[in-house]
Amino acid sequence: MITTSTNQHLSIRNPLLVAFRADVVRGLRGPVKTLPCKYFYDAAGSELFEQITELEEYYPTRTELAIMREHAPAMAAHLGQRCLLIEYGSGSSLKTRLLLDHLVHPAGYIPIDVSGEHLQRSAQALAGDYPGIDIRPLCADFTRPLRLPELSKPEARRVVYFPGSTIGNFTHQEALLLLRKTALLCGGGGAVLLGADMRKDPRVIERAYNDHHGVTARFNSNLLVRINRELGADFNVEQFSHRAFYDSAVGRIEMHLISRRAQSVHIDGETFFFQPGESIRTEYSHKYSLRGLCQLAEASGLESRRVWMDKRHYFSVNYLAVKAQVAC
Ligand code: SAH
Ligand code: AVI
């Protein structure tokens, strides 16, 4: 149930905060409460994500990095000379370095991320280490229409690098739409280099989202800390617990914040009530089969040309070429 006071919206004017408020309020108004996972990534959230990638339980980053270390030369050969590399959700750009090390005369590199400070810091470090590459960070939501910066060198082709299995944080329909738009952005001759976490023993997957140090729990509850700070809300963060479980039927992790008791929360003039045990779903993390990935690519106007995997088949990096005729 929601009550609305008469002076709502008065305090928030910054357009980014207005959008944040609208997304939060929309998510908490529904019969099933949800919050968009892209808001995990403020400066603290990005730092917590970096800590997650180092956890013993969190296998995806280390596995994908190992695949990149072994196969970056072959991937770079697929990307070809004078490629413009665009990255979705670039974070620390750690894996990208392995690609940049092998690219021949790249036209430029555009890392895109919503986490502004983290993006700037990573891009500055990269510019120092790769002085010959035109690096143009873009702080933006890659699901929205993008205005790419103009680069000085002409590009032979566009490739979107989308690592980390961030694609898994989207529903099937959202992923389809995003990849279709991406195929159009890349155009003829272009490609998507997509990192995807694979289906495996559910116990391995569940452990990765329930680490014994509680870092994933802090990453999850940081979303409430951020809403409190940026929207002036009064979530009692201690009164929500982390829950993550794998749904084998759908092939995805669901992350939730569970209300420990009956409580109400105020966000910029609106009140939200929580029953004891009621949840806010904060993230999906879909896991894929090779068949599922091929079907997703096909339906998006992309064609799977090459797949690199680790020995255990925990993770895959997929070279998806834009098909000759792409339409939205
Ligand atoms: N690519 C890195 C980071 C993955 S974490 C890796 O593989 O380790 C996901 C990253 O995507 C975060 O840096 C987050 O800020 C960014 N992100 C999430 N949703 C986004 C969106 N809609 N638009 C832009 N960046 C997004
Ligand atoms: C960025 N994304 C692919 C991570 C994942 O595994 O879904 C985010 C994450 N959530 C909890 N741990 C890591």
Q: Is the CB of 282 under 6 A from ligand 2?
A: no
Query: pLDDT value at position 11?
Result: 66
Provide the CB-side half-sphere exposure for 210 (13 A, CA).
17
Residue 43 CA: distances (Å) to CA of 35, 110, 212, 227 = 18, 20, 23, 13
Query: pLDDT value at position 14?
Result: 85
Write the burial class of residue 147 (CB in 10 Å: 0-12 exposed, 13-18 middle, 19+ buried): exposed
Query: pLDDT value at position 12?
Result: 77
Question: Residue 49 falls within a domain, yes or no?
Answer: no
Q: Is-contact 246 205, C-beta < 8 A?
A: yes
* pTM metric for this prediction: 0.95
- Domain CATH for 95: 3.40.50.150
Query: pLDDT value at position 3?
Result: 36
- The two structure tokens encoding residue 206: 């569940």
Q: Is the CB of 91 under 6 A from ligand 1?
A: yes
Q: Nearest bound ligand to CA 254? A: 2
Q: Is-contact 297 179, C-beta < 8 A?
A: yes
Residues 6+ apart with CB under 8 A from 19: none
CA distance 10 to 268: 8
- Residue 50 CA to ligand 1 center (angstroms) comes to 11
- The two structure tokens encoding residue 3: 């009550």
Q: Which domain holds residue 67?
A: 59-200+289-327
Q: How many CB atoms lie within 10 A of CB 39?
A: 19
**Nearest residue CA, atom 1 of ligand 2?**
166
**Nearest residue CA, atom 4 of ligand 2?**
166
Q: Is the CB of 52 under 6 A from ligand 2?
A: yes
CA distance 316 to 307: 7
Question: Residue 311 falls within a domain, yes or no?
Answer: yes
- Residue 12 CA to ligand 1 center (angstroms) comes to 26
CA distance 100 to 203: 35
Number of domains in the chain: 1
Q: What percent of the chain has pLDDT over 70?
A: 95
Q: Which one-letter DSSP state was computed for residue 89? A: S
Query: pLDDT value at position 1?
Result: 36
Q: For each of the chain's 328 residues, which pLDDT tens digit applies? A: 333 333 344 467 788 999 999 999 999 999 999 999 999 999 999 999 999 999 999 999 999 999 999 999 999 999 999 999 999 999 999 999 999 999 999 999 999 999 999 999 999 999 999 999 999 999 999 999 999 999 999 999 999 999 999 999 999 999 999 999 999 999 999 999 999 999 999 999 999 999 999 999 999 999 999 999 999 999 999 999 999 999 999 999 999 999 999 999 999 999 999 999 999 999 999 999 999 999 999 999 999 999 999 999 999 999 999 998 655 4
Best mutation site among 65, 114, 142, 161 for ligand 1, i.e. most ligand atoms within 8 A of its Cβ? 114
Question: Residue 6 falls within a domain, yes or no?
Answer: no
- Residue 327 CA to ligand 2 center (angstroms) comes to 30
- Residue 88 CA to ligand 1 center (angstroms) comes to 7
Q: Is-contact 89 178, C-beta < 8 A?
A: no
**Nearest residue CA, atom 18 of ligand 1?**
38
Closest atom of ligand 2 relative to the 253 alpha carbon:
7
**Nearest residue CA, atom 3 of ligand 1?**
91
**Nearest residue CA, atom 13 of ligand 1?**
91
Q: Is the CB of 12 under 6 A from ligand 2?
A: no
Best mutation site among 169, 254, 317 for ligand 2, i.e. most ligand atoms within 8 A of its Cβ? 169
CA distance 80 to 76: 6
Question: Residue 133 falls within a domain, yes or no?
Answer: yes
Question: Residue 219 falls within a domain, yes or no?
Answer: no
Question: Residue 38 falls within a domain, yes or no?
Answer: no
Question: Residue 275 falls within a domain, yes or no?
Answer: no
Q: Is the CB of 164 under 6 A from ligand 2?
A: yes
Closest atom of ligand 2 relative to the 165 alpha carbon:
3
- pLDDT by residue (tens digit) across 112-151? 999 999 999 999 999 999 999 999 999 999 999 999 999 9
- Residue 188 CA to ligand 2 center (angstroms) comes to 31
- pLDDT by residue (tens digit) across 87-115? 999 999 999 999 999 999 999 999 999 99
Going by C-alpha positions, the residue among 276, 223, 226, 268 that lies closest to residue 3 is 268
Question: Residue 126 falls within a domain, yes or no?
Answer: yes
Residue that is written with structure tokens 């029953």 in the block: 275
Q: Is the CB of 304 under 6 A from ligand 2?
A: no
Q: Is the CB of 168 under 6 A from ligand 2?
A: yes
The alpha helices in the chain, defined as continuous H runs, are 15-29, 43-53, 59-79, 94-100, 116-129, 172-186, 202-208, 215-231, 290-299
- The two structure tokens encoding residue 83: 């490629």
**Nearest residue CA, atom 20 of ligand 1?**
38
Query: pLDDT value at position 13?
Result: 78
